[in-house]
Chain A
């Protein structure tokens, strides 16, 4: 790869077919709390390549057309979890949604995630989401000391038990795709349960029963109606509904 790039810059550039660009229409749900009483839809036409992402389209709009467009993004590579938004009616990360995977003969609808207070354009107040996350005590708790100068040992099988739920990036795509969460925002939400699952099923942790008690609440796991929106929305491919079902079963058993 490196030599190919070096050759291309050193030698005469070979005549290449120009990469085809498309005009893509994005209809974005805008909201400026200083001006608007309610959100409004605004459309933008941008030239995009098939390999571009929705995040690139948002950048192009912000940098070239309307600097007031407001959205969060940090790493832009699907790890930080900043840019979860509703793209064509489904929660996705803007940085992981390629133009080629969408039907660009129709406009692409982009709006903020649902169920959390809208602050501006594509930005919502994430505090209620993080409050639920903190409530499930998402940290290792153990009363026993680890072996002297050693880490706490765990078998491969014990580690694999909760591997799926370690992948969460707290983007809120799952929680804000949940119809139960939309109704009043009181439900803990899939993300908090996923992060509780990560410690409940960790053989090194000793506070599983505390977390099971917390989730055995009327706003806990029993509000899950198995719509599987969270599993479909998760950009990390976590089997969220499966994890919630495992927590339900653990509560019924009284132990992980």
Chain B
């Protein structure tokens, strides 16, 4: 960004401006980000679960490395991603299959956000207390 004579900011980068879509576009962006994140979780999850085929001790060793606050916060983020992806997935199904889905897509987006907040309010405190009460011990 450079300041020109008119006192306005002229972007130096030749790329265009970010497209300013509304709820629909941002719900899709979030859906894609959470989808890719969940995919990578599943990849790791299948690998660590398959350890039980090698030996239960190897499985326990891997799982015990997850018992720390950083993974605890990661689990919170994972649940947050899955809950959004699940509720927004229902919204997308309704847009495609319910005749009034497209009309109410914006309302449904805010319902998704509302349900996400309620679910996370139920989950996050319970989970984080559990995670951090084990810090330093057990």
Contact = CB atoms under 8 A, between A and B. Distances in A.
Contact of B10 (A41, A112, A179, A227): A41
A228 B22 contact: yes
Interface string B1-34: 0001010111100101111111111011000000
Given A25-B8, A111-B16, A245 B96 contact: yes
A227 B96 contact: no
B19 to A, nearest CB: 6
Interface stretch (B36-44, B97-105, B115-123): B97-105
Contact of A226 (B6, B103, B105): B105
The listed residue with most A CB atoms (<10 A of its CB), out of B10, B16, B106, is: B16
A43 B14 contact: no
Given A177-B19, A226-B92, A245-B96, A43 B24 contact: no
A177 B25 CA distance: 10
The listed residue with most B CB atoms (<10 A of its CB), out of A90, A111, A179, A226, is: A226
B124 interface: no
A186 to B, nearest CB: 18
A44 to B, nearest CB: 9
A120 interface: no
B10 A89 contact: no
Interface residues of A, number: 35
A225 B8 contact: no
B10 A43 contact: yes
A228 B16 contact: no
B105 A229 contact: no
Contacts of A43: 4, 6, 8, 10
Interface string A132-153: 0000000000000000000000
A61 to B, nearest CB: 14
A226 B10 contact: no
A38 B12 CA distance: 11
A38 B10 contact: no
B95 A107 contact: no
Given A25-B6, A111-B17, A179-B21, 16 more contacts: A27-B10, A43-B6, A43-B10, A45-B6, A86-B19, A89-B18, A90-B21, A107-B9, A226-B102, A227-B28, A228-B21, A228-B23, A232-B22, A245-B101, A245-B102, A249-B96
Interface of A: 25, 27, 29, 38-43, 45, 86, 88-90, 106-107, 109, 111-112, 114, 177, 179, 225-229, 231-232, 239, 241-242, 245, 248-249
Interface of B: 4, 6, 8-11, 14, 16-25, 27-28, 92, 95-97, 101-103, 105-106
29 contacts: A25-B6, A27-B8, A27-B11, A29-B16, A39-B16, A40-B14, A41-B14, A45-B6, A88-B17, A89-B17, A89-B18, A90-B19, A107-B6, A109-B17, A111-B17, A112-B16, A179-B21, A226-B24, A226-B95, A228-B21, A228-B22, A228-B23, A228-B102, A229-B22, A229-B24, A232-B24, A242-B103, A245-B95, A249-B96
